[in-house]
Structure formats: structure tokens, C-alpha cells
Amino acid sequence: MSLAKKTLRELDPSGKKVFVRVDFNVPLKDGVVGDDTRIRAALTTLKHLLASGAAVIAASHLGRPKGQMVEELRMAPVAVRLQELLGADVPVKTVNCVRGNQVQKAAAALQSGELLLLENLRFDAGETENDDALAEELAGLADCFVQDAFGTCHRSHASTAGVPARCKPAVAGNLLEKEIRAFEQVMSQPEQPFVAVIGGAKVSDKILALKTLLEKVDCLMIGGGMAYTFLKAQGHAIGSSLCEEDRLDTAREVLAEAAARSVEMLLPTDHVVADAFFENANTQVVAGDLPSGWMGLDIGPETKAAYAAKLAEARTVVWNGPMGVFEMEPFSHGTSAVAKALAESHAVSVVGGGDSVAAVKKNGLQAHIGHISTGGGAFLELLEGKVLPGIAELDDALSD
Ligand code: ADP
Ligand code: MG
């Protein structure tokens, strides 16, 4: 498997107007950008285009304004941060709307080496509806399209799917290319042992990913809330832990499929349990069955050690979903232990998922992990083996 789409290498942007779909959906606090990882992640593409003499029209969504103008979700703070990161040589211009006369004029006046950042795309209801008229209008602003919003590629929206369908050539930017290549590196011909660590709250969120991974991995390690549905399916008492009663059969199917494929399936053998879903709840460590009235909120020390040992032997690792309620300190240690084990291992590793990535960052370990995806939902859909609409609409690479 390879990225079967055209990339920046196949685009001559000189003197062209280039529409770049970026993912600038960053956290804002008091009108200032918090974590600017996503803006930085787009810089290689933007700088390449600007240095090559393109006039760049960049656009993103921000938050969930649901088709209406929301003052706090304007792109202005993003433009400020982007200007700082690009430096004074690149004028970052803005418009305070998504479509219409003002946008068309600003785009038409844009010069080579300049960047125009459109207003929050989701202020226009047509964005999430993949409205033809909006896609047509946005596509009309530019001569070509670059997709670099990996985190939004699983959405069939006007800017992610409608515009690349109309604005040709349409190619993958550097960030998108890096994400796909990192993913393909682990999923096609992974070096063994290949270990997947899957956690998070629910089996139902991850079931498709689990099924696809079972076809590839040597070992599947389960943690987080979803572990309890599996443990209950095996006949264990799980107290008042999170459990999806309607997924017990699904869990049994996964266990049977793992056995049939000789995939080693690791479930937690001990737990940090609490008497309430609360940071200052009473806690204890229990092995095996859980006492009634107690809920499992993290993997226990024995499980941590077993998972870390497996990760130390692995040559390839995919991780999605925390091992416990890592947002609360007493239940964050299992997730930290996995993050540390991964940072210390020599495996080719990919971590994806908003919460998993937040946990890696909280432990300051991002520099020690092979690839940290900028996608949450998009990463999960890749794991599920889906074709992402924002990638599907790009031009196919010429076959050699
Ligand atoms: P990601 O964003 O990395 O894909 P998910 O969104 O699937 O991860 O899962 C993260 C959520 O799962 C976190 O909010 C975390 O608190 C929750 N979670 C983890 N373990 C448990 C548990 N044992 N009980 C309840 N919730 C849990
Ligand atoms: Mg999440």
C-alpha cells in the first residue's frame, strides 16, 4: 500500500492561487490560541507553497458553531498565531466571512507570497452539509487545492470533499502525506511482534477498529472502560464499572476471533477501583473480580507491568485510547505507564486519538514516540480500514 494520491511534489504552485484546507481547530482560551500544535503542523505545507510563489487561501473550521456566526469562534486569534509563526515576511490577511463578495475580492487581490485566512468555515451551514453552491464558490477562489486537514478528512464536508472534487489539481499536503505514510508504515508489512493497545470508554466506539486490527496484530491489549465489557463477557464480576450490556456478544465475538487467529488478547488482571466517579473517591487496588459497589477506573500495578513488558518486546505498536480515567490523577497512572513504555521501546509506533495524544503530552513524551497523529476520529476511521472522503477526492497518483 502507498499513498495513491498526488502530493505537493506533483504540483507547480508558482503564480497560482492555492486553496489549502488546514486543520486549525485549536483550543482557544480568553481569545488566545492555547495548544498550537495543529497550526505548527500545517507550516511545512504553507511555507512550501508561499516560497514557491503561490498565493495561499487557507481555510479551517473551529469548534462547533453549527452554521451560525459565533463571535468567540472567529479565526482572528488563529490568524494572530499564524502570523507569529510565519514571520513578518508573509502577510497574513483575513476576511470575516466564508463566502460572498468580500471573500471573492480578497482572494482576487491576493498576491504571490501572501496568505488569506478565511473565516470559520462552519459559520456557514453549507460546510457540514457539503452544499454544492458553497463548494462551487470556494473552489472558484483558487486554481488548485491542497488537502492538509488530516483531522477532518473523515468528514464529507464542502471544504474537505466538495472543493477538491471541483478544484483541480487537488493534492495531499505534507502533513496529510506524513500521517498516511506513518499509518501505512505500521499497517502494511509491520515488523513483528505487532502490538495494538486499545482503550477508552466504549467498546461500541472501537469495535470496527478492533476487528480490523485482529487481522494484523500479534497481541491486542485492552484497557480503559471498554475492558469491563470484555471482562463481564468472560464471566467476571465488574462491580459498577462502565459496561455496555448490549455489546457483550460483540465482546465475545472479538475474543473468539482473537483465539481463532491466535492473537494474544490481554485484558486487565488487576484494577484501581473507586467507590464513585470522582477524583477524591475512596480507592483500592483489586485483582480478579471487582467487589460490588466499586468501579474500575484504571488498570492496576500488575497489569501495568505486564503491558509494559509486552510493549518492550514489540517492534510495531499502534495505540488508541487511554487505560483509565487519566483526566483524574489517581486514575492516570496506567495510561502514563503505557506512554512511558512506548517512549522507551524501539518499536515503530503510532499514537492517535484526542485523549491518548493528550495523555502522551501530559507526560511530556511526544518527542519519544514515532508518530503522533493530529487526527482523532480520522485516525480511528483509518484504523477501521475506511477510505476517508477528504482523501478520496484528491487526484490519483500516476501509476508507474
Ligand atoms: P481517544 O480520544 O484517545 O480516542 P476515547 O475518547 O476513546 O480516547 O476515550 C477516552 C475517555 O475514556 C476518557 O475520557 C477517559 O476518562 C475514559 N475512560 C478511560 N477509562 C475509563 C474507565 N475505566 N471508566 C470510565 N471511563 C474511562
Ligand atoms: Mg476522545
Which of ligand 1's atoms lies nearest the C-alpha of 297?
23
Specify the DSSP class assigned to residue 158.
I
247 as an active site residue: the answer is no
The distance from CA 327 to its chain's CA centroid, rounded to whole angstroms, is 18
Q: Which one of 53, 113, 354, 370 is the catalytic residue?
A: 354
CA distance 265 to 269: 12
| Helix, strand and coil in the chain, % to nearest 5 | 40, 20, 40
Per-residue pLDDT of the chain (400 residues), as tens digits, is 356 899 999 999 999 999 999 999 999 988 999 999 999 999 999 999 999 999 999 999 999 999 999 999 999 999 999 999 999 999 999 999 999 999 999 999 999 999 999 999 999 999 999 999 999 999 999 999 999 999 999 999 999 999 999 999 999 999 999 999 999 999 988 999 999 999 999 999 999 999 999 999 999 999 999 999 999 999 999 999 999 999 999 999 999 999 999 999 999 999 999 999 999 999 999 999 999 999 999 999 999 999 999 999 999 999 999 999 999 999 999 999 999 999 999 999 999 998 999 999 999 999 999 999 988 899 999 999 999 999 999 999 987 5
Q: Is 358 close to ligand 1, i.e. is its CB under 6 Å away?
A: no
Tell me whether residue 122 is one of the annotated catalytic residues.
no
Cβ–ligand 1 distance for 225 under 6 Å, the answer yes
Catalytic residue among 47, 93, 202, 261: 202
Catalytic annotation present for 354: yes
Please choose, from the candidates 94, 100, 101, the residue with its C-alpha nearest in 3D space to the C-alpha of residue 56: 94
Q: Which atom of ligand 1 is nearest to the CA of 224?
A: 20
Distance 271 CA to ligand 1 centre (A): 15
CB-based contacts of 263, cutoff 8 Å, min separation 6: 214, 217, 218, 219, 220, 257
Angle, CA 391 vertex, CA 96 and CA 51 arms, to 5°? 60
Inter-residue contact 26 to 38 (CB < 8 Å)? yes
Residue 57's SS3 state is strand
Residue minimizing CA distance to atom 15 of ligand 1: 325
> DSSP secondary-structure letter at 162?
I
Interaxial angle between packed helices 37-51 and 174-187, expressed in degrees from 0 to 180 and rounded to the nearest 10: 120
Answer whether 239 contacts ligand 1 (Cβ < 6 A).
Answer: no
Annotated catalytic residue 151: no
CA of 24 to the centre of ligand 2 (A): 18
Q: Using CA of residue 105, residue 111, residue 112, residue 118, what is the dihedral sign?
A: negative
- pTM tops 0.85: yes
Cβ contact 225:202 at 8 Å: yes
pLDDT for position 189 = 87
CA pair distance 183, 60, nearest whole angstrom: 23
C-alpha cell at 182: 506513518
Distances (CA, A) of 341 to 90, 187, 218, 279, 311: 42, 21, 18, 25, 6
94 contacts 75 by C-beta, under 8 angstroms: yes
- Whether 205 lines ligand 1, by a CB cut-off of 6 Å, is yes
What are the two backbone dihedrals, phi and then psi, of residue 396, each rounded to the nearest 5 degrees? -70, 145
Residues 232, 213: contact at Cβ < 8 Å?
no
Say yes or no: CB of residue 327 within 6 Å of ligand 1: yes
Take atom 22 of ligand 1 and give the residue whose Cα is closest. Answer: 225
Give the nearest ligand 1 atom to 352 CA.
3
User: Residue of the nearest CA to atom 21 in ligand 1?
Assistant: 225
Q: 54 and 19 in contact (C-beta within 8 Å)?
A: no
- 378 CB near ligand 1 (under 6 Å): no
The CB of 320 under 6 Å from ligand 1? The reply is: yes
CA distance 286 to 303: 11
Q: For residue 113, count other CB atoms closer than 10 A to its CB.
A: 16
- Of the candidates 161, 172, 164, 241, which has an alpha carbon nearest to the alpha carbon of residue 203? 241
> Which residue among 229, 355, 360, 383 is best mutated to probe the pocket of ligand 1, counting the most ligand atoms within 8 A of its Cβ?
355
What length does the chain have?
Answer: 400
Question: Is the Cβ atom of 127 under 6 angstroms away from ligand 1?
Answer: no
Domains within the chain, CATH numbers bracketed: 8-176 (3.40.50.1260), 190-383 (3.40.50.1260)
Report CA(370)–ligand 2 centroid distance (Å): 20
Amino acid sitting at position 161: A
